[in-house]
Chain A
Amino acid sequence: EAQVTQNPRYLITVTGKKLTVTCSQNMNHEYMSWYRQDPGLGLRQIYYSMNVEVTDKGDVPEGYKVSRKEKRNFPLILESPSPNQTSLYFCASSQSRVTGELFFGEGSRLTVL
Chain B
Amino acid sequence: EDQVTQSPEALRLQEGESSSLNCSYTVSGLRGLFWYRQDPGKGPEFLFTLYSAGEEKEKERLKATLTKKESFLHITAPKPEDSATYLCAVQGARRDDKIIFGKGTRLHILP
- A residues within 8 Å of B by Cβ? 4, 40-45, 48, 58-59, 90, 92, 98-107
How far, in angstroms, from A101 to B47 measured CA to CA in the complex? Answer: 9
Main secondary structure of the interface of A (DSSP, over half): loop
How far, in angstroms, from A39 to B20 measured CA to CA in the complex? Answer: 23
Interface size class of B (residues with CB under 8 A): 20 to 34
How far, in angstroms, from A44 to B99 measured CA to CA in the complex? Answer: 10
Q: Pick the contact of A101 from B34, B41, B101, B103 — CB < 8 Å?
A: B34
Cross-chain contact A40 with B103 (CB below 8 angstroms): yes
Is B64 interfacial (CB-CB < 8 Å)? no
- B residues within 8 Å of A by Cβ? 31-34, 36, 41-46, 49, 87, 89-91, 98-99, 101-104
| Neighbouring A residues of B36 by C-beta, 8 Å | 102
How far, in angstroms, from A4 to B46 measured CA to CA in the complex? Answer: 13
Smallest Cβ-Cβ distance to A33: which chain B residue: B99
- Given A42-B103, A45-B98, A59-B98; A100-B42 close (CB under 8 Å): no
| Neighbouring B residues of A104 by C-beta, 8 Å | 43-45
A-B contact count (CB 8 A): 51
Cross-chain contact B43 with A100 (CB below 8 angstroms): no
Q: Pick the contact of B98 from A4, A58, A106 — CB < 8 Å?
A: A58
| Neighbouring B residues of A59 by C-beta, 8 Å | 98
| Neighbouring A residues of B43 by C-beta, 8 Å | 4, 90, 92, 104-107
- Given A42-B104, A58-B98; A101-B49 close (CB under 8 Å): yes
Min Cβ gap A3→B in Å is: 10
Cross-chain contact B44 with A100 (CB below 8 angstroms): no
Cross-chain contact B41 with A107 (CB below 8 angstroms): yes
Min Cβ gap B53→A in Å is: 17
